[in-house]
Structure formats: structure tokens, C-alpha cells
Amino acid sequence: MYTVSVKPLPFLDFRSDTATTPTAEMYVAMMQSSLGDDVYNEDDSVKKLESYIAGITGHEAALFCASGTMTNQLAHRVHLCNPPQSLIVDSRSHVYNYEASGLSLLSQAMPHPIMPSNGKYLTVEDISPRIVLDVDVHFAPTRVVALENTLNGTIMPIEEIARIRELTKAHGIKLHLDGARLWNASVATGISLKEYCSYFDTVSLCLSKGIGAPIGSILVGDKDTIKKARHFRLAFGGGWRQAGFLAEAALWGIETNWPIMWETHRRAKVLERAFVQVGCHITNPVDTNMVWVDTSDAGFTVDVLKEELAKEGIKISGSGCATRVVMHHQISDEAVEKFIRVLNRVAHSSGVVAKGDPVEPAMLEDSDSIYEDIEEPATPTVFTRPTTPVSPIVGERLPLQATKNCSSSSLDSGCSEAVTIKVFSSQELTRQHSHQSLPEMKSCIFEQPTNANKGDAIYQVIITNQRQRRTCTDPKEIDYSFEQDVTDTPRLPLKASQSLNFLPADKNINKVQYQMVHSPASSALKRASDRLARWSGSLLTREA
């Protein structure tokens, strides 16, 4: 019997909501993924994720990619296909500032950055005067308007989105949304993703931020757009092979972390109040999970605060007098308590007098006092997770069963009890790989250290196999037959002789070709050709 042991990091990283790490349950979901080739569109887990996201956003198709930068750039490359061309963007947006000038490099387009007149989000009044029509050869016509929601944690009102949609539609301009944190906007407003996405031609949704997946972003649009984006993804070097385990991690995050995302918003409100009461200025509305802070009026700098927080293991970004503090699902009330203690200590040492009643850590335990004026955000509609087909390599898929009532929440808090799951069925392994004995199979990297202490606060997943004490198999190291491989992809029913078994597994498809080249008939034909060549050369030499 072997265990998967995942030691949790101390979740004290407030720099970004990308700082999350996979949980033990997410690892289990990842290990049950399909293992098809996504470049050939053969990975069932990836196709399931794409179909699922397309459904909840109301678009025809979706494309799973490695990052939000890639999905943003793919969308613009599809829309911006006829230079000279330009697009309108928010001057603070990610696609304009933090994507290595991809708009100019990849799409040959000139961005027109606009700072919103209201300081929060773009409006029709900001965009309309800056639209360039295709009437003067001196100017690059506007082909795309790119919005971002949320931007710096601020929600863009859906009424303004509807107005901008009417404007772009009237001029034949495409409308794209960088919705990396649209999940947060949906939670905070109660507006479904389908309603938000209905106003856009393409939408990019990040999976590695609030959703908590280790990597990934997804682009939605109509079928023709996604088909073209798939071409560009390959051209940009973004095609990936066995990406199913990442798709399963994303599905697990949507199912588990999205419904509790509102808690990150409430904790952000707690920190907002704490900063205000020590004299700091909040520079952006705290609509979701971000707190943007200016400490210039508080008598201390971000560098001082960062240094003191680091002594407690807490990480924040920023310098000078500006910082951004971000919540995610793995930051607990205890972490917020520790943050507030350090903040109050720094403020007190700088001589700041708190405004009103200070936010004490103990107040976190009394939700009525700390959240008395904070409305609980409406929980978005959570769709049922699509049924997972049983992968040929996985066998029987069983739900998590905790021993001694060790729940999911207790796992996150460091419960040392074991969670048992059957990952492989011995009959399934025998049926799929009858040509290989179980003792020959390789063990995967997730083995429990021999010196593991059962008292440690670690996540444990027991992987049992009724026939052999073996862990999950690395599929790339198994010599699969070419008649039926791990992806269950149909192959030609070819038969190779036993004498060709020395060929590597990835060369199995070439065994017939090998037979043809090395058959006795082929050898005889080659010898005859060599004799004819030598005889012809001899005749030419004699004539000369």
C-alpha cells in the first residue's frame, strides 16, 4: 500500500490569486484523467472541459490553452486579420500592459489605450469619439474593442457592457472580453456567465486564478472563430499533448472553489476596513477579492510593511506607497488575523491613531460584527459537472471515501487521517495490458517517504491495488500494443511478428513498414538492383 503525500504550503501569499496550490482531492481528479492527444483532438477530458465551458457561457465552442495571455492573443489574432488595423483598450488592461506587446507583434495592430474618464471602467462616451472608421488611408481603422472585467478588482456594470455592444455592432467592430476574473464578477453580482458572455464575440476565462487550477485558460466563441484559433494556437507553439490531467484539475476547481469564492470577497472587505482604520487610502473600489492601497497618508511605506509581514511568513507585492493585496480560496481567517496584527503593529510604531474602532483579529470570529454592513454576494448558478467517461488506464472510478469522518474541510486544515480511493482495477489492467505482467510496471513519483510521520499535518491518499502493491503507472513508460493504446484511439489492425518486439513502443506503427523493407523478397530485389547498377556501370566504362 502506497500513499500520495502532499504537504500544504503555508497559505500566506497575498500577492495574487495565482498563488494557490493543488489539494489532495485535486490530485486524485487529475490522476483519473484521460490520456489522449489534444493536438489531434483526442483527449476526452479536454473535450469535456471545452464543452462544459462553452455550455455555461452560451457560446458554440471553446479552446483550452496554457495561459490567459495566449487566449487573449489568439482571440485578437483571429479578429485582426486585415492590416492596417487598430483596437481600443483600457490603458490599465492586462492585454495592453502585460502581454509583451503581443498585439503589435502577433496581430500587426496598433492599440489605442484609453484611461476611463470615471477612473473605473470604459464607457460609450470614452470609446465612441476614438473609433476610427475606414474612410481615410492615413489612419488604421478600428477592428476590435477589448474590455476587461474585472479590472483591478472593479466590476464593470453589465448595463455599460450592453451599451458598448450596441456601439460596436453598429460599426461592425468585434468585442472581446478579458474575463480572467469574470468568475468573481459573476459571484459578486449574481449575474450568470452566460449573460455576461452573451455581449461578446470572444471571451477569455482564466482557470489558474480564483478557480485554483495549476495552469490554464479557455477561450470561447463561435465555431469558426475557435477553429481558426486552434490553427493559431499550434502556430504559436501552444499545442499540447496529454493535457487531460490539467483539464480535470480545472473542472474540479470550478466545481469546488467557484461556489465558495464569495468568501474571498468578504475577507477582502475585512482587510479594506483594517487599512482604512490605520489611515491608508483605498485607491480602487473593493468589489471582489482585491484591495488596492496607498499608504502615503498612514505614515509608513509598503516596504516597511512588507518587511514586517515577511517576518511572519506573509508575502505582498508593491513598493513605495502602493500595494495590491489579493485574496484566494486558500487564505484562511487565521492568515487574515496575522496580517491585521502586523498591520496594526506597523501603524502603531509610526504613530498613527486608528480611525474609529480598530479591526481586531478576534472580530473575525464574530461574523455579525465584522460583516454587519457587508452583503453576502449572490452565489452564481453552479452547473452539474459533466459525467467523466472511464479512462482505459484508470479502470473503475470511485468517489472519495474518508475514513473516520475526515471531511474535505478537515483535509484542508491538516487532518492526518487517510482518504482511500481505488484508482486501478486489476481486471482492467489485465484486460488492457495482458501482454505485460504487473511486476514489470513502473511506479509513479507519488510514493510515501519511508520516514513519514503519521502525526504530520499532511494530505494522504491511499492508492490500493488488489493484485500488486504498486502505485499509479506512468503511461509513457509502458510498452503499449499498437492494436489499442492508452488513449483508446482506433488503430489499423496490423499484426507484427514476434521477431519485431524489440522495436520501441512509439515505433510500433512502423513495424509493417519494417517488415516490408526487411522481408526476403525485398532483400532479393535490392540485391538484383545492386547487380544491375554495377553491370550498367561496367558497360559504360567499356564504351568510354
- Summarised one tens digit per residue, pLDDT across range 176-213 is 999 999 999 999 999 999 999 999 999 999 999 999 99
Residues 280 and 425 in one domain: no
Cis-peptide into 113, omega within 30 deg: no
Condensed to tens digits (0 to 9), the pLDDT of residues 389-434 reads: 333 333 333 233 333 333 333 333 344 333 333 333 333 333 333 3
Q: Which of 261-275, 315-329, 526-540 has the lowest mean pLDDT?
A: 526-540
Whether 355 has a pLDDT exceeding 90, the answer reads no
Whether 209 and 327 have beta carbons less than 8 Å apart is answered as no
Q: What 3-state DSSP class applies to 182?
A: helix
Last residue within a domain, chosen from 338, 370, 402: 370
Separation of alpha carbons 61 and 58, rounded Å: 9
In a domain, 542, yes or no: no
Whether 214 and 208 have beta carbons less than 8 Å apart is answered as yes
Residues 124 and 4 in one domain: no
Separation of alpha carbons 263 and 243, rounded Å: 30
Residues 204 and 286 in one domain: no
> What is the total count of domains within the chain?
4
In the predicted model, what is the mean pLDDT of residues 305-323?
Answer: 95
Whether 35 and 240 have beta carbons less than 8 Å apart is answered as no
Of residues 217 and 382, more confidently modeled? 217
Last residue within a domain, chosen from 221, 256, 291: 256
Separation of alpha carbons 468 and 298, rounded Å: 64
Segments of 115-239 assigned E as strands: 142-148, 174-178, 202-206, 217-221
Burial 148-165 (b: 16+ CB within 10 A, else e): bbbbbbbbbebebbebbb
Closest CA to 203 of 186, 222, 219, 183: 219
Residues 53 and 122 in one domain: yes
Question: Cα 337 from chain centroid?
Answer: 29
Residues 164 and 229 in one domain: yes
Q: Any residues with CB less than 8 A from the CB of 297 and at least 6 apart, and which?
A: 279, 280, 281
Q: What is the mean pLDDT of the chain?
A: 76
Q: Which of 55-69, 244-258, 264-278, 518-532 has the lowest mean pLDDT?
A: 518-532
Separation of alpha carbons 27 and 446, rounded Å: 10
Whether 439 has a pLDDT exceeding 80, the answer reads no
Instruction: Specify the residue for cell string 467592430.
Output: 173
Per-residue confidence (pLDDT) for residue 5, from 0 to 100: 52
- Residue 450's domain spans which residues? 1-15+390-491
Residues 434 and 328 in one domain: no
Whether 487 and 37 have beta carbons less than 8 Å apart is answered as yes
Q: Out of 161-175, 337-351, 366-380, give the one with best mean pLDDT.
A: 161-175
In the predicted model, what is the mean pLDDT of residues 466-478?
Answer: 38
User: Does the pTM of the predicted model rise above 0.75?
Assistant: no
Residues 138 and 219 in one domain: yes
Residues 266 and 248 in one domain: no
Closest CA to 289 of 442, 152, 478, 177: 152
In a domain, 344, yes or no: yes
- Looking at residue 290, which CATH number applies to its domain? 3.90.1150.10
